[in-house]
Structures are given as C-alpha cells and as structure tokens.
Chains A and B, each alone.
Chain A
Amino acid sequence: MKEILKTHDTFPKLLVRNAETFGDRKVAMREKEFGIWQEYSWKEYHDHVKYFSLGMVSLGLAAGDHSDASFVLAEDQEQVDKILDMKEQLPKVRYIIYSDPRGMRGYKQPFLLDFKEVENFGRELEQRDPGLFEKNVARTNYEDLAFICYTSGTTGFPKGAMLAFRNFLSMAANLMEVDNKFGKDEFVSFLPLAWIGEQMMCLSSALLTGFTVNFPEKPETVQENIREIGPSIMFSPPRIWENMTSTVQVKVMDASALKRRMYNWALPVGYAYSDAVFRKEAIPPLLRLKQKLAYALVFRALKDRLGLLRIRSASTGGAALGPDVFKFFNAMGVNLKQIYGQTEISGISCIHREGDINFDSVGKPIPETEIRLSDSGEILSRSPSVFLGYYKNPEETEKTLSDGWLHSGDAGYFTKDGHLVVIDRVKDVMHLNDGTRFSPQFIENKLKFSPYIKECVCLGNQRDFIASMICIDYPNVGKWAESRRLSYTTYTDLAAKPEVLELLAKEVEKVNATLPETTRVRKFVPLYKELDADDDELTRTRKVRRAFVGERYKHVIEGMYAGEEAIPIDATIKYQDGKTSRLRTTLTVRNL
C-alpha cells in the first residue's frame, strides 16, 4: 500500500487513480434505495466528485477555504431547516446545498441549491476551462489539510481536529500491514460520517484499496441491510455489538424449547473454545469436535442472521467493550478485535493481532506508532498520523501536543507481552471516600451486558459507596412485561413498575457477584427516560457525557446519597420539533 502512496498521496489523486484502474468495472459505493442496491462505479464516483467540486469552484470556493464554512451540504429538508434556523449566526455561509429535493418546493431562498444544479455549474465550468479539475487534483499535496474532524465531545465541547492527507493515509496504510483489507472487500457504513471511524473506513481505507462502501436504506433497516450485503470488514463502536448481543439473547428467549437447548449447550462450548484460543493453549480434541458441532448447529446460523457470516475482520473501538460481549462474538467465530485510537491520531493507533486477542487489552501499536506512558500513567503516542492541531484553538493544541507527544487523556498500562490496557479516562477514574479507585465505565459495561439494561451511569466519586442510575431497555423489558401479563403505558410507567425494579435488582446483583466487595453497586434507581443525544446526555457515538448527566440529574443523585427512598421528579421533556411537555413521577430507590 505504501508503494501507491509514493505516487498518489492525497484523496483526490487516489480517486483519479481508482477511476482509471477500475473504471466502470468495479463498484465503489452502493446505496439501497427503492428496495434495490443502487450501484456507483469508481468512474461515476469520480465524475460526481469532479463536477460537484467544479460546481463549487464556479460558485466561488477557493483553495484554503475550510471552517468558518461558506458552503454547507445538507442531506434533506430536515437538515436544511436546522441550518436555516441558525442562519443568522452563520454570516459566512453563502450556499446551502441539499441532495434530496423532497419537501423543498416551498423554499425560495436563492442561496439554496440542489446538488444536481451544482454539478451542472461544474459541467459549464469544465466547458469554459477544460482540464481545471485535473489541475486542481495535481495541486493537492500529502501535507495539505484534508479534513477538519470534530471530536465527539465526550469530555467537553467538540473541538475541530485538523487532519492532513498524510495523517489519514499513513494511518490506513500502517493499519493494513497488520489488518489487511482488499479491493474485493465489502463494508457497510451506517454511522455518522462525521465520526473519525467512518472517515477512516469510507475515505482513507476505501480510496487506498478500492473496496466497496455500502450505505443502508434507512437507519431502521441497518441490520437487514448488513445481512443482505454480508460485509467482510466491519468497524463499529461498542453500542452496535452490544445491541446485537441483546437482540440474540431476546430472540433466544422467544425461540422454541429445542432451539433454546441447542443454544444453551453451544454457547459454553464456544466460550471454552475461545478461552483456550485466547490463552494460546492447545485445544483438546474433544473440545475441537464439540466446537465444530456447535458451529454447524448454532453459530453458523446465528452469524448468518446477524449478517456476519462473511466477516474476515471485525473490530470495535471508540469506547471500551465489555469483556462478555467480546467473548460472545469470539465464541461464535467472529474474530472481533479491540482497537484503540482517537480522532487526533486519525483513528487507530492500536489493534489486536490475529490470534493474539486478550479481551482486557486493546492490542499492540500499529507500525510507525510509538506509545509510552507518562509519569501519571497517561497514554502518550507519536506517529505520522498525529493531527496538525485544533482549528482556532492553539491553547488546547498546546496542551494536547506538548513535548511532541499526543496526550490522550486516557489512563493505561502495558501488560508483560506488550499489550496496551486502557483503564479509563484519566479524569473519569473515580475514588471512593475510603480511597478505593474504580472505573465507572468498567462497571457500566458489565451492567449493560444485561438485555434489560440499555444505559447506565455509575456514581461514587468522593462518596461512601457506588450508586447507579439505570435506563431500561424499553423493547426488551416491554417484552418481558408482556410475557408476564404486566400492563404498562409508557417508558416512564414501565420503568417505575415494582416488578421491573426487582428484575433490575436481580441483574445488578448478578454483576455485583463478579465485582470486588468494595466496588459493588449499593443503590440504584431506574430513570424515567432514556438518555438521549438530543438532550446532550450522550455524544452522537452514544457515550455518556458524565458532567452533563451529573448536573441534570443532580437532585436524583443527591437524593440517593441522602438516603431517600423515593425521589419526586418534575421534569420538562423536550421533543425534537421543539415542543415541550411536563412530566411528573416518582423514582423509587432500590438498596442492595
């Protein structure tokens, strides 16, 4: 891969190369629409980029224009509305370009343009100035700023990380040396494109190797569409893997007695087998045989249902994945690997190697990447993929890049065999009053393995014990309630049922049994609503924003620590369309 980079060292150059090499013979992207996977060849991909970029040039886009954006691309009416709502705060925006004209008939503003219109401007410019696109492509450099990628804002307001072509492409090439990707690979992209993980797959990796990127029809059809494509590579944050696990668990509960028994026999076999592989032990012949049988009877079908039958390389990153989920996938033969990285290093810096998976660690650094620990245990890294700095934020840049190393803000350590283990965010590691250190995320991940718990937040910093706020998994708990003829109306109502409280208590106790005495959850309360990214409680990649949640549910938390049995709630709920409604209920605290 690095050979290619010598001659084609930017995204545009790689795109032109791929269009020349593959032309119309190879599919670059697919998007499901009208029930059919609509295909775009590398040639078509190239032509769209060509005419759209020229169109923007004809509208006045110049090299070096970036944030403080003058052009905004919006998918549809809904997105356009969001920008129009804040147009007054965006005096520099000159054009808003949308790709789906539906519902736009009533909009007459001259600065709104259809994507196709802009492409036509591009064609006109091509007539007037032939060869301009090729000239523009040739002008791009390896060191040029490619992209300003906003950090997800888990720990504060999002910051714009400036990444050069060098950052993206060296990361992709180095990663491929240890986790190879090929032109015939299939990838399904279903997460926000603003996330570094999607950028690194859909742009740097796809352009470098020429694999096919598939876009699902609707957010609701993702699972179905993954199954239709049968991707060979997959990269998702923990949430997705957790969802798949709980889907399987729930479906098994609904399955016939025979199927349930087969599953309950096969799963421990898979666990035993993958444990042996993880420990790099010789596998006893009997276990090997059992595993083959379990695969033929259960795991193969399960993988097929989840659309993972053709997976060659699956990885998870963005946050820690609970070891149980990890084992679950490896048990059924999906070689799920943990990666570690951050936006500021163009995505990935560590990954598990094939056959060297240890589910507590995040693997080893990829080539050309140095990782060391600071005196306080913070993970520091250095590589050609480390970003240029934050956009218009020299102060933060200075802090993050001091003495030439990228400061991650994560606490970690190395194991004897050179694996990096990430404990938690340095500032998220908490201390109880008696000095016990614990990672809330670690406990939360264990709790979230329960199919009935969708999200939870553990508390206890400078307190006497650990308490937790739990969001039930609405569909799964709903199903559980229905099977017990328990009637309920809304999420709030269901979460407040005494039976549900007991169900959750059992789940928490199961987890407590696996935790050291000092870091067990002593109290919990089921919340009256799901944590939501729209309420700023989660990031768009669904990580809990602790500070925000701590502030918002302050009186719930104080109530629990003050020893209250019931906490009254009088909250205002805001809907997406801006309407609000008032909600009054009482939360019951459960002691363990």
Chain B
Amino acid sequence: MPLLRIDDIHLSFGGVKAINGVSINVERGSIHAIIGPNGAGKTSIFNCISSVYKPQRGAVYFEDRKLTGMKPDHVTHLGIARTFQNIALFHHMTVLDNLMLGRHQFLKRGILAGGIFLGPARTEEIENRKMVEDIIDFLEIENIRKKPVGTLAYGLRKRVELGRALALKPKLLLLDEPMAGMNLEEKEDMARFILDINEEWGVTILLIEHDLGVVMDISHRVSVLDFGVKISEGEPAEVANDPRVIKAYIGEEDDFLREMEAR
C-alpha cells in the first residue's frame, strides 16, 4: 500500500484546467520528485494534498484516509508537513521560536498552565525544546539559533523552513523547490539533508524541483507533469530517456534537453 495515493484528481480555476486527471502513488520510505515546466500544476498538487485546494474530481489518500475535504490543520496532524516555494516563516521571530512554533500543534496545555510554566506545562515545553534542539543539531544551525529569521541569508532561511517542517515529526514531507535560488554549495548541503532525513529519520519525501541534476541524483522515482497531465513516470533514468518527456520540453527548456542528453 502506498503511503500517499493521488487518485485521478481534476482541478480547475474558472476556465483554466490546472490539473487534469493526475494519479501518483508515493511509496513509503521513498524520495519522489515531481518535475515539469512552469504552470504544469505541480504546486497545485501540493495544495490538493495539504487540502488547501479541493479538487473537483478525484481525491488524495494518506495511509488510506481521505485527505480531500479535510481541514488543512488536520492534514498536518496526520503527519504531513511542507515547505513553501516562497519562504513562509515569521521574520521577526528567532530561528528557535520559529521551530518551536512548528511544535505548537502538539502542545496540549492551555494558556494558563503555559503562562505559569509549572508542572506538566514545563515538562511539555522541555520535551518539545529537546526535539527542536535535535533538529538544530541535525541542520547545523546552532550559530543562528537566537537570530531573527529576517536577518538571515536566503539559503539559511530555506534551511530553517525545512527545520520548521521537521518539527512536526512528519511521516511525509512535501518540499516545494527546496533548492531554488541557492548556490552550488548550499544545494549540496540541502541534498545531503534531504537524503539524511529520508535515510536516517525514515521520512518519505515528495519534492518539486527545477534543478534536474539534483532530482536525478537523489530521487527514487520521478513523475513528469505537463499542462496538468502526467506524461511520464518511473525511475530517473527511464524518465530521462522517455521521448514524451523530451518532446514536452523541446522549445521550452533547452537546458533540460541538454542536461538529459548529457546523462
């Protein structure tokens, strides 16, 4: 049984068909990538998974529970966390506070107990802080623990956002262009983190990424979208040689073609 099952979803905004009958199975423990030209519907799929959008037809299932129609915060409760294409962090809060906020939904004590910081509320806070410190150690961001996110460089913010998603202790992590706008060194670090999260923490990863070098290197499986339709799926090598994929990209992204050929 796949961990996540996207079953023939259709989504349109007025007359624009963003997703036109896409089905994808994400296997437990895998790194699965979704690629495709701009406007292919990749981020819309993420929004359908986290139940921000409701597809007009079809549904998304996580561990055989139907996500479609659920409230977005319930989806996170089930163990799905995500990062965004444009970083979504609180800029005036410190890195630590942003990560602690990621644990917010697990806090069971109320305002009063938390305010007095006694007994169970205290124990709870310490437990959560421990978890967050594990993440800080894992992502090697000790030196910026107390810095406001707004003062950090872009690459670091991306890392903090990943940390915030990890703080949810997800079973499935949705990464929307985790490497966009990064330099080579930052990309390599990020690729390392993604692999470590997958292999050491056993988190299943679904990612959207434009850097095809990275996608082909780290993914177990790749789905290719074009104009809201899945045109190919398979292991990276298979996809790279699929004539439909090459055709979809001709004239639009020569880089893609060249890169594919180089492989």
Q: Does A68 contact B (CB under 8 A)?
A: no
- A393 contact set on B, CB distance < 8 A: none
A105 at the interface (CB under 8 A from B): yes
Chain A, Cβ-Cβ closest to B144: A220
A158 to chain B, nearest CB (A): 29
A-B contact number at CB 8 A: 29
Number of A residues, CB within 8 Å of B: 13
Shortest beta-carbon distance from A176 to chain B in Å: 34
- Contact status B140-A218, CB under 8 Å: yes
Contact status A103-B196, CB under 8 Å: yes
Q: Which of A35, A102, A105, A577 contacts B136 (CB 8 A)?
A: A35
Q: Which residues of A contact B196 (CB under 8 A)?
A: 102-103
Residues on A with C-beta less than 8 A from B130 are 34
Is the CB of A33 closer than 8 A to any CB of chain B? yes
Q: Which residue of A lies closest to B130 (CB)?
A: A34
User: Which residues between 94 and 147 of chain A lie within 8 Å of chain B, taking CB atoms?
Assistant: 102-103, 105
Q: B254 in the interface, Cβ–Cβ < 8 Å?
A: no
Partner of B199, one of A34, A105, A220, A577: A105
Chain B 110-141 interface mask (CB, 8 Å, partner A; 1/0)? 00000000000000000001100110111010
Total B residues in contact with A, Cβ cutoff 8 Å: 15
By a CB distance below 8 angstroms, the chain A residues around B133 are 34-36
CA distance A224 to B138 in the complex (A): 20
**Residues 179-204 of B at the A interface (beta carbon under 8 Å):** 188, 196, 199-200
Contacts of A433 in B (CB 8 A): none
Query: Could you tell me the distance in whole angstroms from the C-beta of B31 to the nearest C-beta in chain A?
Result: 15
For residue B63, CB closer than 8 A to chain A, the reply is no
Complex partner residue of A220 from B129, B143, B188, CB under 8 angstroms: B143
By a CB distance below 8 angstroms, the chain B residues around A591 are: none
CB distance from B195 to the nearest CB of A (A): 9
| Majority DSSP secondary structure for residues of A touching B | loop
Q: Does B253 contact A (CB under 8 A)?
A: no
- B145 to A, closest residue via Cβ: A35
In the bound assembly, the distance between CA atoms of A103 and B193 in angstroms comes to: 10
**Partner among A34, A105, A220, A221 whose Cβ is within 8 Å of the Cβ of B137:** A34
> Which of chain B's residues has its CB closest to A581's CB?
B184
Q: Assess A33 versus B137: contact at CB under 8 Å? Given A218-B143, A221-B142.
A: yes
Tell me, in angstroms, the Cα distance from A224 to B143 when the chains sit together. Answer: 9
User: How far, in angstroms, from A103 to B136 measured CA to CA in the complex?
Assistant: 16
Closest chain A CB from B96 CB (angstroms): 8
Closest chain-A Cβ to B124's Cβ sits at a distance in Å of: 17
Interface mask (A218-261 → B, CB under 8 Å = 1, otherwise 0): 10110010000000000000000000000000000000000000
Which residues on the A side are within 8 Å of B188 (C-beta)?
Answer: 577
User: How far apart are the CA atoms of A35 and B128 in the complex, in Å?
Assistant: 13
Bound CA span A35–B199, Å: 25
Beta-carbon contact of A217 and B142 below 8 Å: yes
**Minimum distance in angstroms from A87 CB to a CB of chain B:** 23
Give min CB distance, B200 to chain A, whole Å.
Answer: 6
B-side contacts of A221, CB under 8 Å: 142-143
Residue of B133, B136, B137, B142 contacting most chain A CB atoms (<10 Å): B142
With CB as the reference atom, state the residue of chain A lying closest to B184: A579
**Min distance, Cβ A229 to any Cβ of chain B, angstroms:** 16
Least CB distance from B159 to A in Å reads: 14
Which of A34, A103, A105, A221 gathers most chain B CB within 10 Å? A34
Q: How far is the CA of A105 from the CA of B198 in the complex (A)?
A: 12
The residues of A that contact B145 with a CB separation of less than 8 Å are 35
Bound form: Cα–Cα A577–B199 in Å: 23
| Alpha-carbon distance between A220 and B143 when the two chains are bound, in angstroms | 6
**Which residue of the partner chain B has the closest CB to A36?**
B133
Taken together as a complex, chains A and B put the C-alpha atoms of A102 and B199 apart, in Å, by 11
Residue of A nearest to B146 (CB): A224
By a CB distance below 8 angstroms, the chain B residues around A577 are: 188
Q: What separation, in Å, do the CA atoms of A105 and B196 have in the docked complex?
A: 10
Q: How far is the CA of A102 from the CA of B145 in the complex (A)?
A: 21
Interface residues of B (CB under 8 A from A): 129-130, 133-134, 136-138, 140, 142-143, 145, 188, 196, 199-200
| Interface contacts beyond A35-B136, A102-B196, A105-B200: sample of 9 additional A-B pairs, CB < 8 Å, sorted by A | A34-B133, A35-B145, A102-B138, A103-B196, A105-B199, A217-B143, A218-B142, A220-B142, A220-B143
Sorted nearest first, the 6 A-B pairs with minimum C-beta distance are: A220-B143, A34-B133, A221-B143, A218-B142, A217-B142, A35-B133
